[in-house]
A and B are shown apart, each in its own frame.
Chain A
Amino acid sequence: MLLSNNNLNQVLSSDLKQLNGYADLVNRFFESEKIPELNQITREILQTKINTRSVVINFDNSPVIWVTQLFAKLWLLAKLPGLNVVNNRIRFQQLENFEFTFVPANMNKSGFYLRENNQVLNILYFDVITQRLFFNADALAKLVNSNPGKRVSSDRLADFVKHLNQFADALLEDEFALDLNLIDYENDQKLFVDKVDVPVEVTDKLFLTATKNGFFIGALDDGFQISLDENISLFFQQQIEASGHSQWYFRVVDKKNEWSFLQVLQKFPFISNWYSQNISTLEIAYRDEIFLN
């Protein structure tokens, strides 16, 4: 059947309108210098469905590309160095042994995991649609405790953690919900253990391992303080909940306010060994509804 001029015109007009609109979004994406605006454009791109009848769109337009591009661009807008993207694979200068890609989260979530490819660890959840950035405590602890993780110098890890914090701070401009947990280096940050009540065997093991490794562990009224060096202390304390249970938490305090629990786990193997050997008791609370399948 021959198309009438009128019909052809309508189809082409509709297709061109869609393509022009899309081209405009893409153009605005690359030109945008403002985080909330950039996120909004990305949301529109991700929600755009191109349904052309006269032409076949012949390029990869997967959401992973746009999320990767968005992440890299946000990194730049936050004035952070050291991130490279090649074929949607992300590398951070400070963690040269690791390679990351974004993978879509579960079916009912609109965000993406940033996954370390070799260790298969989803270290964060990034969702521009619902404006959420959550870090995965379990995966981060495993990452720094892996063989390549142990080879990362503490200075480089400190830089990386600092950059992630600055990246998260930048997203506050667009009212993102954040869960920094292990990478939060604020001295007053309390990292709560997921479960209540820690058995005395577990704290006894902490006492033994700290002492045997030559670190001073002091008793507090509500827990313990380990002096890791003259500038850094790890606190493991409890507060009594209304239910009568003890809610334990970690706190890292240092004079320059730049040490996170993640860095402590990487720098002090006796702590990470104790933490991982008693993980069923000590695991830090995080958004497990996001990260557990």
Chain B
Amino acid sequence: MNKTYMQSLPASPNLNTKITNKIDYLKTVLDAINSKNYLQVYEMIDSSRFNRIVRGYQYADSNASMANLTANIQPELAQFLAPKLFEYLRVNFPFFNYKEVKLGVYEIVFGQWPAARTIGILDTIRVEFIFDQVALEKLRSNFEDGEDTLNKLQIDELKQANVALHKNADTPSNEEILKNNDQIIILEKENVLLDLERNSILETYSDFQDFIHAAQKLYGNYINSLQNQLDVAQ
């Protein structure tokens, strides 16, 4: 009896449609990837955001139920999308470099100098800079307060302490002076790094706010640039 029941029930039209839709969705994503149609990939993985930000729709339905199908392949997808995004970033944020710390996860490294700071993560799927707020705040302060201001008080105090140790010849002070010198180097290095970061930003942007504004609009600007490339190609 049971055997007959299991064998005789066909799939409901509804289920059939749902599975077909999913297959179609994944097939479309696959085709977009194979043809390197980045624009379509971004639309497929978050159509609501795409429509709101790129097309300017006030309200756009989410395709999250479909996009969730890609949840398990996010690292591979992020890695696929990265090189094209890097091309854009090299022009518009030339001071950033990216280090893949695990599959599809990219740290943002500021500059190519020694001890360059890591200041966040680049999400290549959402096309977003996720900045480390403490690192960003130091940079903002450098813009507002000017060069060499961070740590200045501490550096001056250490230098004064060294002068005092030099004067007091009876005290065995060499070790203390060397310790202070090492600390001064560390503090000065941080200042120099922030100055380099600031000067690099100013080569591309008028000020810190201009830079932050461009960083916040990264998704829209990048998708538009992909659209423009497509238009030119056609």
Chain A interfacial positions (CB closer than 8 Å to B): 201, 203-205, 207-208, 211-212, 216-219, 224
Q: What residues of B have a CB within 8 angstroms of the CB of A217 in the complex?
A: 113-114
Which of B4-12, B168-176, B184-192 lies at the interface? B184-192
Known A-B contacts: A204-B189, A207-B115. Give 14 more (CB < 8 A): A204-B185, A204-B186, A207-B113, A207-B114, A208-B185, A208-B189, A211-B113, A211-B192, A216-B113, A217-B113, A217-B114, A218-B113, A218-B114, A219-B113
A264 and B230 alpha carbons, distance in the complex (Å): 50
B112 near A218 with CB under 8 A, answer yes
A203 near B114 with CB under 8 A, answer yes
| B115 nearest in chain A by CB position | A207
Taking the nearest CB of chain A, how far is it from the CB of B48, in angstroms?
A: 41
Taking the nearest CB of chain B, how far is it from the CB of A21, in angstroms?
A: 64
Contact of A219 among B116, B182, B185, B192 (CB under 8 A): B116
B192 near A212 with CB under 8 A, answer yes
Q: What residues of B have a CB within 8 angstroms of the CB of A208 in the complex?
A: 185, 188-189, 192
A220 and B116 alpha carbons, distance in the complex (Å): 11
Looking at A201, A216, A219, the one whose CB has the most chain B CB atoms below 10 A away is A219
Q: What residues of A have a CB within 8 angstroms of the CB of B114 in the complex?
A: 203-204, 207, 217-219, 224
Taking the nearest CB of chain A, how far is it from the CB of B199, in angstroms?
A: 10
A216 and B200 alpha carbons, distance in the complex (Å): 12
Taking the nearest CB of chain B, how far is it from the CB of A227, in angstroms?
A: 11
B189 near A207 with CB under 8 A, answer yes
Counting CB contacts under 8 A, is B119 at the interface? no
Taking the nearest CB of chain B, how far is it from the CB of A205, in angstroms?
A: 6
Q: What residues of A have a CB within 8 angstroms of the CB of B112 in the complex?
A: 218-219
Q: What residues of B have a CB within 8 angstroms of the CB of A216 in the complex?
A: 113
16 A–B pairs (Cβ distance < 8 Å), ordered by A: A201-B182, A201-B185, A207-B189, A208-B185, A208-B189, A208-B192, A211-B113, A211-B192, A212-B192, A217-B114, A218-B112, A218-B113, A218-B114, A219-B112, A219-B116, A224-B114
Taking the nearest CB of chain B, how far is it from the CB of A142, in angstroms?
A: 24
A211 near B196 with CB under 8 A, answer yes
Taking the nearest CB of chain A, how far is it from the CB of B160, in angstroms?
A: 20
B185 near A205 with CB under 8 A, answer yes
Taking the nearest CB of chain B, how far is it from the CB of A194, in angstroms?
A: 22
Q: What residues of A have a CB within 8 angstroms of the CB of B189 in the complex?
A: 204, 207-208
Taking the nearest CB of chain B, how far is it from the CB of A31, in angstroms?
A: 59
Question: What string of 1s and 0s marks CB contacts (under 8 Å) between B105-117 and chain A?
Answer: 0000000111110
| B196 nearest in chain A by CB position | A211
CB interface residues, B 104-132, toward A, < 8 Å: 112-116
Looking at A204, A212, A217, the one whose CB has the most chain B CB atoms below 10 A away is A204
A204 and B185 alpha carbons, distance in the complex (Å): 7
A106 and B12 alpha carbons, distance in the complex (Å): 103
Taking the nearest CB of chain B, how far is it from the CB of A222, in angstroms?
A: 12
Q: What residues of A have a CB within 8 angstroms of the CB of B186 in the complex?
A: 204
A219 and B109 alpha carbons, distance in the complex (Å): 12
Taking the nearest CB of chain A, how far is it from the CB of B126, in angstroms?
A: 29
Taking the nearest CB of chain A, how far is it from the CB of B188, in angstroms?
A: 6
Q: What residues of B have a CB within 8 angstroms of the CB of A203 in the complex?
A: 114
